[in-house]
Amino acid sequence: MSEFDWVLKGRCYRLGDDVPHAGGVIPNRYIIARQFDPAELIPHLFEETDPGFHQRCRPGDIIVTGRNFGMGPKMNGYIAMRALGLGLVCDSMPFLAYRAAIGEGLRVLTDCPAVTEICESGDELEVDFRNGLFVNRTRGVSREYPAMPEALMDIVAVGGNSGWLKGWWQQRQNA
């Protein structure tokens, strides 16, 4: 777990409130098709609102959203975000969306009130997911948000649920 990068440094990509998973994050057809292959999903992340996003984003960039992000218990969009090396910071997200993001190994902070008011797209951000420290280097402001629960870090560090289960089983076999 020590080699896992819990601090992301990158640019802000700001979204508003109530962005649904289907359509808002990834086109619904990939959700319905149960497409879980990162390579297939990456070109379509935010495709309906911002075509070509995947070519402009860089590993370490941080998606910052308003309230109620990612409605729906689907994980397809988070698979693409993780594969692109992105982080996610939300004012709030429905629990099932949060659980789905953790399950796909995404670095995510939620319950960050009014976070969209202290950043704009393109700002240079630094976010430490271990302690919730959110720094906007461009504006010189910082906030302390709730950290990612320690108990969930071992899931995220190994790439989500399937990675965790694989590691758990191997460890058990070797014991």
Partner 1 sequence: MGMTAVEKVLARASGKASVRPGEVLYPVPDFIMIHDGVVMGAKHELDALGIDRLAAPDKVIIVTDHDVIYGSARAAERGDFNRKAARQWGVQNFFDVGRGGHGHIFPMETGMLLPGMFYFDNDRHATNAGAIGAFGFRVGAEISRVLATGTNWVMVPKSIRLKVSGNLKPGVHARDVGLHLATRIANGSLKIDLDYRVLEFAGEIGQFDLAARTALCSSPTEMRAYGVFFPPSEEIIALATARAHRPFTPVYPDADAGYEADLMLEVGTLEPQIALPGGVERAVNLSEVAGTAVSHAFIGSCGSSMYGDLVLAASVLSGRRIYPGVRLFIAPGSERSTRRMIDDGIMKIFIEAGAVLLPAGCGPCNDAVIGPVHSGEASISTAANNNTGRFGARDAKLYLGSPATVAASAIAGKITDPRSVAASQDVLRLAREAA
Site residues for partner 1, 154-173, by CB under 8 A, read 155, 161-162, 164-166, 168-169
Residue with Cβ nearer partner 1 (9 or 130): 130
Among 1, 39, 151, 175, interactor with partner 1 by CB under 8 A: 151
In single-letter form, the type of residue at position 116 comes to: T
Among 1, 149, 174, 175, interactor with partner 1 by CB under 8 A: 149
| Site for partner 1 contains 4 (CB under 8 A) | no
What are the φ/ψ torsions at residue 134 (nearest 5 degrees)?
-115, 120
Among 23, 38, 94, 159, interactor with partner 1 by CB under 8 A: 94
| Site for partner 1 contains 122 (CB under 8 A) | no
- Write the interaction track for partner 1 spanning residues 60-79; mark x where CB under 8 A is met and - where it is not: -------------x------
Residue ranges in contact with partner 1 by CB under 8 A = 73, 94-96, 99, 103, 146, 149-152, 155, 161-162, 164-166, 168-169
